[in-house]
Amino acid sequence: MARIDDYNTALDIAKKELSNRNPLHFCRLSGALYIQEGGSAIIRLTFLNRLITMSWPDLVFYQDSNEEVGIKKKILILHYLNGSKKQDLTGELITFQDIPSARFYLDAFNRRVKYPLINAFGERPDQLPLVAKELFGATTSAVGDISVLIEALPKIPVTLVIWRGDEEFPSDGTILFDSSIRDMLSAEDISELTSMIVYPLIAKAK
Model-level pTM?
A: 0.93
Question: Are 104 and 32 in the same domain?
Answer: no
Instruction: Enter the DSSP assignment of 69.
Output: P
| Alpha-carbon dihedral sign for residues 43, 54, 186, 125 | negative
Domain range for 39: 4-83
Given a contact cutoff of 8 angstroms between Cβ atoms, the answer to whether 110 and 187 are in contact is no
Q: Classify residue 52: in a domain, yes or no.
A: yes
Question: Are 111 and 78 in the same domain?
Answer: no
Convert the pLDDT of each residue in 145-186 to its tens digit.
999 999 999 999 999 999 998 888 899 999 999 999 998 999
Please name every residue paired with 159 in a beta bridge, in sequence order, or none if there are none.
Answer: 149, 176
Question: Are 154 and 198 in the same domain?
Answer: yes
Beta sheet of 33-37, edge-to-edge order: 33-37, 40-47, 50-56, 61-63
Helix (DSSP H) and strand (DSSP E) numbers for the chain:
7, 9
Convert the pLDDT of each residue in 22-70 to its tens digit.
999 999 999 999 999 788 899 999 999 999 999 999 999 998 877 789 9
CB-facing half-sphere around the CA of 168: CA atoms within 13 A = 0
